[in-house]
Structure 1
Amino acid sequence: MKFSHSIQFNAVPDWSSHYIAYSNLKKLIYQLEKSVHQSNVGDAESRPLIQQEDPEIVFARALDVELEKISSFYVVKEKELIDDVQSLLRDVGAFEDESAGADELRPAARSSEPQLRPSLPRSQSTRSRISTEDGVEESEDEGDETAGLTTNRKRRTSFSRRRAAPSAMLASTTDMTASTDLTRSWRRDSMAFDDYAEQAAIFSSGIVLKKKIINLYVQLCELKSYVQLNRTGFSKVLKKFDKIIDREMRSKYITVHVDTAYPFRLDTTKELEDYISTMVQTYAAVVTNGDQEAATRDLRSHLREHVVWERNTVWRELIGLERRAEAASLGHTLLGRDADPQKLLLQGDDERLLLPTKEISTPLGRFKYPSWLFSSTMFTLMVIVSLFLMLIFIPILEKPEQQNCLALLVLVSLLWATESIPLFVTSLLIPFLCVVLKVFRGNEEPRRRLCSKDATAAVFAAMWTPVIMLLLGGFTLAAALSKCSIDKRIATFVLSKAGTKPSTVLIANMAVAAVASMLISNVAAPVLCFGIIEPMLRNLPAGSDMSKAVIMGIALASNIGGMLSPIASPQNVVAIGIMEPAPTWGQWFFIVIPVGLISLTLIWVLLLVTFRPGRGTTIVPIRPVRDPFTGIQWFVSVVTLCTIGLWCASHQLESVFGDMGVIAIIPIVLFFGVGILTKEDFNNFPWTIIILAAGGLSLGKAVNSSGLLHTVTEAITIRVQDFSLYGLLVVFSCLILVIATFISHTVAALIILPLVYDVGKGLDEPHPNLLVMAGVLMCSAAMALPTSGFPNMTAIMKEDPAGQRYLQVKHFISRGVPSSLLTLAVVVTVGYGAMRVSGM
């Protein structure tokens, strides 16, 4: 959670205006950053400040204002609470005297109870020393917001006046949980009316004291939290200033100004903790019969309840935002592109989800129906299901299992292509339909259709393979690198060496995006890179061509990076599961490294020629992370490198590990076993991608087992039998490039690569792995549209501080189409040569 949000959710609501203005200080830092790097930009009012004053002086002045505000509020609030503590302790003394007097009349009562008269801690500061005389003046600022939660304690009455109305006190304190403990030793089987009235008065006084102790304990703890939160705020905002402005102001300002300010001094903190301890002792004396552990436990419980209740509104707003996002997502799923998220309302106190409805008039009255029933998405679903039923009942192929498998293949392919329902939901349909339609056949000759029970075992065995474990291993490495900020450290280090020349900065960002995609997937890499270049984007003029070139370059390079390692993208994992024998990491790198380097260089030249980012551009250099490498980061780095090394040598170690999927278990066990990753990290894995890949593997197994793949392959082979291997490579590469441009890269791989493998296997000179390898590279090379892959979708949504998108669709068409064609040319030339040399 960002610290600006942490302040919002942890601050005492009534004190919100008295906390450090963290967001405003961050805005000032960004303004100072611009003044440092663009001193000639700005209006006439800002120029004298920019030219004459050092950023440290300007920022220190703003911090001084915040520090004075916090110190003034703390002094007022501390004095008010200490007054209340003094008053409380006098009341406790009177209560004990009254109880002792009652005990003298009844010697048998409370003879064994300990007596405790808490001592008040003495402050070393004259500002916190308060007179203990009875004539302490009450505060007259009940309406002031600095009074906070203390207004309910302004009306104090004497101990004797509270005794006069015991029934009223009892009526107002029935919610206190330990009331029976307070007077357990005072009860008698029978007592006179006067004795009962006196005991009732003491009982009600004890309840009032308990409530006052709890109130003071809560407020003292909130004051302590107020100090801690503000000190953290000063530390974090100074750290951000040093990082962005490249200064070393943090330690000096904290030592000289913050640590010496009254609220943050060690003696002040010690005094506040003594008051909190006094409340615990007082509670133990009055309520828990001297048991301080029980008193501490009770008071902390009340503190937790108070925090939940007091800040309920803030948390409800947070939950409301989360549910609105879920509602918008649900509406988009049900209504497709016709969905209007603004109409998906969360109404009422229980925030129930209300989906849009429409009304229709009939002779019987007006009826409401969900809008999605007649949406374009529902119409698409009906067409797809109708086509599926037609293929089931209209005979096209001789064997029923092949006929059913063809219908299944068409249904799944259309659902994936149109995304009428979520992709992973379509994947979950595959094992269900495979069993119901009985598309699996046995392996023994003659090959007969399997019964439902045997088909269930076969389809689920196909879904969970070593390929899925390899995918999980890749997600684990990516999560560990990201959580320990190793990816960011490497990226900022490389970018810091790029200097300020626009062309060099552009290629450096593209290289970092490609390598990050190779290590942590091309889904997370663009997000990481966009975060790193944010300072540079802030300081570029609005509409700068450099901004467009860098964002476009990161997106296109991330697509190229998706082909650079077997775990960089899901389609690579699918391809490895199809190829027999699966290529080693060494073979993969031998093919993709030259293809990736040449493609990146050509795309870089294309962006330089079309955007011309060097004109009138001032680049803010990226600064590396200066913190030393920790032991945990070294551990994660070593485990990652060792795992990749074992994957590269998997064929040589096949007698030991058997498959790369088994090696993937090593980082999973190590990172989750030692606590670097937690179960929350495991739950946050992209399980939808895993289900999608598992469904694709089961579909490939079904198409192969039913014989449909063999039938289709024979039909295609007859038509391409005159084609050379290179001709087939070009044809299938172009076909896959076009298809993957309009549908998901992973979906394109799931649908087409099994067919490509079988076609290559049926050639006179079989090279199935070569065709599959070229096909999966072209899946990653499809980047002509904003919807062609996750990196493009991330880039098109990137907005400037004014809320305007940096890129438009025309930018992707004019640069993405040529980039895809350039990568196609590299794959069918350089890539083809590398594949032949590697033995594919």
Structure 2
Amino acid sequence: MKFSHTLQFNSVPDWAEHYIAYSNLKKLIYQIERDIISTSIDARGDTETAQPTEETFLLDSKTRANTIFIPALDKELEKITTFYVSKEKEVFEETEKLLADVAYVESFETLPINIPSRRNFSRSFDSSDSLNQILKKPTRQRYSSGSAGSFLSSDDDEHQLNSPVNDETNLLEISYHHNPQLTEDEQRIYHFWSNPLIEAERIRLKKRTTEVYVWLSELKSFVSLNHTGFSKILKKYDKITNSTQIKSSYMTNMVGEGYPFKKSSRQILDEHIRHMEEIYAKLCTFNDIKAAAKELKTHLREFIVWERNTIWRDIIGLERKSHGVGIKAHPTVEELEISKIETPFGEVNVSAEYWKTAFILTACTGVFAILLEARIFKAVEVRNCFALLVFSSLLWATEVIPLFVTSLLIPFLVVCLRVMRSNDELHVRLDAHDATRDIFAAMFSPVIMLLLGGFAIAAALSKYHIAKMMATYVLSKAGKKPSWVLLANMIVATVASMWISNVAAPVLCLSLIQPILRNLQSNSSFGRCLILGIALASNIGGMASPISSPQNIIAIKNMMPQPSWIEWFIISIPLCILADIVIWIILLWNYKPAETSLLIHPIRASRDPWSNTQIFVCVVTLITIVLWCAEKQLEFYLGDMGVIAILPLVLFFGTGILTKEDFNNFLWTVIILAMGGIALGKAVQSSGLLAIIAHQIRDMVQGFTVWEVLLTFCTLVLVVATFISHTVGALIILPIVAQVGDSLGDDNTSYRNLLVMASALMCSAAMGLPVSGFPNMNAIMMEDEMGVRYLTTKDFLKTGVPASILTMLLVVSVGYVLMHLFLGY
């Protein structure tokens, strides 16, 4: 984990702004690096030979860099010291008060107890007394009602504090009888603490001791984290400036002499922590310091777990919000306007966005109601299914409600509208019970299990940084020439999309090019070219394997017989390579990066050794892929690719490589979306609507050749998938394409698989707009350090539109030939 993340996740939330500003200092280092590089190149004048190394041109501006960076460090050190001094004063004062109260309670030597005034006692307590002298007073503790050596938890203490005296006495009696071997002094302690007033005081002191201990521990962690932060940021600075002196001198002369980091300050803090352990031992563990330390650490661990869970939830919430911003455009001023409506229940505030959503939803529902009553088809089930098809398509296309919610609505409407028919020759409408059984049986198909297996492989490759290690290795070989760096990044994005999906791949690849982007000039076109190339290549990677995108999963569901992985690879990989080359040429033509980018920061390959876990993940992944490729030969034993997908799920989750948290992080919305699409396809087929639509389309294309039909469908898919989600386009169109493909052939030949696979490939190739697929959405949101976006819609129009058209031409030409050769026509 990066230290910036470690600092974020381990800091005390309320103290967050008082820790070292590690991320800001790191950005300052990168700015210094960029300025030094630019200054060096300008000074040399010869841009052809001015290639950066770790030992040239950086040393010339070291003094200037120090005058910028060292004051920033001094400012952070002063901020940390000021905060630490104030917090130390607070916690030490609380410690002194706690010690005074402990001494006050332990001043009662006889029973019955005559309690003096707390105010008078506090005045008589000399705060200058040694803490150790106070802690030498006799102990007055007791065991809890359990086995010897066990103690009451804080929950038990809370119950005791609010319990009647009789319950308290009974509890103490149980404790006493369970520990008959108590010494005379311990028996005296038992009688002392049996007084309810003393017992209540003990519980309060215990809680206060725990709180102060946690506070002191957090202060100690504050010092440790900041010390590590200074060490790491100085190490990074020395690496950038090729210096070996700044870190050692600053850590020794400045950080080491800072009050929080002095040895004496740490010793005082440790001494106070030890005193809390001693107080807790007097209160709860019969002066057993080790047991007291163990219990206090347990309390500290529980507190940290609760606090970190809160932090994680906040961070995840912010991350989800940021992803939401990346997918949905920022609201306009009109959308943010609030109107007030008077109702019998009071005044309600309604935004313009709400009115827009309500209008679209009402319009879709109105169309649905009209189609249910329209006499477009004779059979009721066909009419109802057509209304359902249009209604679902409208909801998916407008995204007025989340896509997966629409998918969840489909089986409900299928059953209520009774659109399912029996599979026999009579085609009788099924009742609700039989329709429910059939529609749910269809939704969880082997294809869904294949999708889960793909998610498991992607999660393992990403979690253990295997994909990143492989990617950095390839990129390290690209050198510094802009055109080759661009091509290498595009190939990495395409290959990564094959195995970790075209949703996760652009996120990974865009994070890998940050060192390149940081060192480019602000007006360099190569940054835009590189980001756009990764986005378009990730879209192309969605074609590459059956698990690289949801539309491929939907296509396999509609293909009969289902193609093997080898057949898919033989067709898709040549198309991906050609499409990447075509896009690469378009990008070089449009942006001419060689003319504007004089310096490319090379990406270094990861030197971390391979762990046994990483090797195991790779082996399981390779075995799974081989079995998928050989599925046709193993069909008698394994039945389907979905059964093979169980292998990585069992091996990864069964061995603990992936956890239930990883399972919960699967893209379940995509799975539900695919299941809804399968349910809709099943309903359209069972009702007879699919056959009617396919028959009408066949009449429209009568006289067309198979290639002309292919071109027609590819053009339709390209237009539709450019404006709506690729997966949604596949859900709507592919079942119709499959039925038309069956009608074009004869008894021995079917063009179903050809048309379906080509249409699925075109779904991934639709990349003309920023909303055309997640890779484009992610790319359009990329910003530089000043918060300015690298790309605009114009960039996608001038590159994405021609790339989509040329990719379509590749599919209907090279792809058509390959599918004719290898899909058995």
Structure 2-normalised TM-score? 0.79
1:217 matched to 2:210? The reply is: no
| Aligned 8 A contact 2:25 2:233 in 1 | yes
Partner residue in 2 for 1:186: 192
Partner residue in 2 for 1:359: 341
Counterpart AA for 2:233 = V
Aligned mate of 1:276, from 257, 273, 296: 273
Aligned mate of 1:444, from 424, 427, 442: 424
Partner residue in 2 for 1:394: 374
Question: C-alpha deviations, 1:222-245, integer Å up to 9, x for none?
Answer: 333223322442455356558877
Equivalent residue runs for 1:453-468 within 5 Å:
453-468=433-448
Partner residue in 1 for 2:796: 812
Equivalent residue runs for 1:703-782 within 5 Å:
703-764=684-745, 765-782=749-766
Equivalent residue runs for 1:33-72 within 5 Å:
33-40=33-40, 51-53=60-62, 65=74
Distance of 1:284 and 1:94 partners within structure 2: 14
Tell me: CA distance 1:571–1:78, structure 2 relative to 1, closer, same or farther (3 Å). Answer: closer
1:497 matched to 2:494? The reply is: no
Question: C-alpha deviations, 1:32-65, integer Å up to 9, x for none?
Answer: 321343234899xxxx997341799779957984
Tell me: CA distance 1:728–1:21, structure 2 relative to 1, closer, same or farther (3 Å). Answer: closer
| Aligned 8 A contact 1:235 1:254 in 2 | no
| Aligned 8 A contact 1:468 1:690 in 2 | yes
Tell me the secondary structure at the aligned position of residue 358 of structure 1.
strand
Tell me the secondary structure at the aligned position of residue 614 of structure 1.
helix
Distance of 1:464 and 1:558 partners within structure 2: 28
Aligned mate of 1:226, from 222, 225, 236: 222
Partner residue in 2 for 1:653: 634
Deviation, 1:531, is: 0.9
Counting aligned pairs with the same residue, the percent is 47
Tell me the secondary structure at the aligned position of residue 38 of structure 1.
helix
Deviation, 1:692, is: 0.7
Partner residue in 2 for 1:547: 527
Aligned mate of 1:484, from 459, 464, 467: 464
Distance of 1:429 and 1:82 partners within structure 2: 57
Partner residue in 1 for 2:356: 376
| Aligned 8 A contact 1:235 1:250 in 2 | no
Partner residue in 2 for 1:28: 28
Counterpart AA for 1:739 = V
| Aligned 8 A contact 1:571 1:779 in 2 | yes
Tell me: CA distance 1:308–1:458, structure 2 relative to 1, closer, same or farther (3 Å). Answer: closer
| Aligned 8 A contact 1:517 1:562 in 2 | yes
Deviation, 1:368, is: 4.4
Partner residue in 1 for 2:233: 237
Partner residue in 2 for 1:801: 785
| Aligned 8 A contact 1:18 1:70 in 2 | yes
Deviation, 1:621, is: 1.3
Tell me: CA distance 1:273–1:443, structure 2 relative to 1, closer, same or farther (3 Å). Answer: same
Partner residue in 2 for 1:685: 666
Tell me the secondary structure at the aligned position of residue 762 of structure 1.
helix
Tell me the secondary structure at the aligned position of residue 800 of structure 1.
coil
Partner residue in 2 for 1:425: 405
Tell me: CA distance 1:4–1:72, structure 2 relative to 1, closer, same or farther (3 Å). Answer: same
| Aligned 8 A contact 1:401 1:438 in 2 | yes
Partner residue in 2 for 1:514: 494
Deviation, 1:829, is: 0.9
Distance of 1:762 and 1:19 partners within structure 2: 69
Tell me the secondary structure at the aligned position of residue 755 of structure 1.
helix
| Aligned 8 A contact 2:550 2:670 in 1 | yes
Deviation, 1:736, is: 1.1
Distance of 2:69 and 2:318 partners within structure 1: 41
| Aligned 8 A contact 1:336 1:376 in 2 | no
Distance of 1:225 and 1:374 partners within structure 2: 47
| Aligned 8 A contact 1:391 1:407 in 2 | yes
Partner residue in 2 for 1:535: 515
Tell me: CA distance 1:778–1:286, structure 2 relative to 1, closer, same or farther (3 Å). Answer: closer
Distance of 1:714 and 1:78 partners within structure 2: 79
Tell me the secondary structure at the aligned position of residue 512 of structure 1.
helix
Tell me: CA distance 1:228–1:614, structure 2 relative to 1, closer, same or farther (3 Å). Answer: same
Question: C-alpha deviations, 1:273-312, integer Å up to 9, x for none?
Answer: 5653443233222455435577447645775798899x89
Tell me: CA distance 1:285–1:176, structure 2 relative to 1, closer, same or farther (3 Å). Answer: farther
Distance of 2:246 and 2:420 partners within structure 1: 68
Counterpart AA for 2:672 = I
| Aligned 8 A contact 2:95 2:212 in 1 | no
| Aligned 8 A contact 1:359 1:367 in 2 | yes
Distance of 1:204 and 1:441 partners within structure 2: 73
Counterpart AA for 1:524 = A
| Aligned 8 A contact 1:527 1:794 in 2 | yes
Deviation, 1:495, is: 1.2
Distance of 1:257 and 1:702 partners within structure 2: 76
| Aligned 8 A contact 2:210 2:299 in 1 | yes
Tell me: CA distance 1:587–1:616, structure 2 relative to 1, closer, same or farther (3 Å). Answer: same
Distance of 2:127 and 2:798 partners within structure 1: 82
Distance of 1:816 and 1:536 partners within structure 2: 23
1:408 matched to 2:374? The reply is: no
| Aligned 8 A contact 2:230 2:251 in 1 | no
Counterpart AA for 1:623 = R
Deviation, 1:8, is: 5.7
Partner residue in 2 for 1:112: none
Counterpart AA for 2:680 = L
Root-mean-square deviation over aligned CA pairs: 4.7
Deviation, 1:507, is: 0.8
Tell me: CA distance 1:680–1:56, structure 2 relative to 1, closer, same or farther (3 Å). Answer: farther
Partner residue in 2 for 1:110: none
Equivalent residue runs for 1:17-166 within 5 Å:
19-40=19-40, 51-53=60-62, 65=74, 98-99=107-108, 102=110, 136=128
Deviation, 1:392, is: 1.5
Counterpart AA for 2:664 = N
Deviation, 1:19, is: 3.9
Structure 1 unmatched runs, 5+: 107-132, 139-152, 160-173, 190-198, 344-355
Question: C-alpha deviations, 1:402-454, integer Å up to 9, x for none?
Answer: 12111111111121122222111111121111111111111122221111111
Distance of 1:89 and 1:711 partners within structure 2: 84
Greater mean alpha carbon deviation, residues 229-238 or residues 792-801: 229-238
Partner residue in 2 for 1:839: 823
Partner residue in 2 for 1:290: 287
Counterpart AA for 2:216 = L
Tell me the secondary structure at the aligned position of residue 20 of structure 1.
coil
Tell me: CA distance 1:520–1:247, structure 2 relative to 1, closer, same or farther (3 Å). Answer: farther
Deviation, 1:25, is: 2.3
- Count of residue pairs brought into register by the alignment: 749
Deviation, 1:639, is: 1.4
Distance of 1:249 and 1:759 partners within structure 2: 74
| Aligned 8 A contact 1:36 1:50 in 2 | no
Deviation, 1:501, is: 0.8
Distance of 2:428 and 2:244 partners within structure 1: 76
Partner residue in 2 for 1:471: 451
Tell me: CA distance 1:14–1:660, structure 2 relative to 1, closer, same or farther (3 Å). Answer: closer
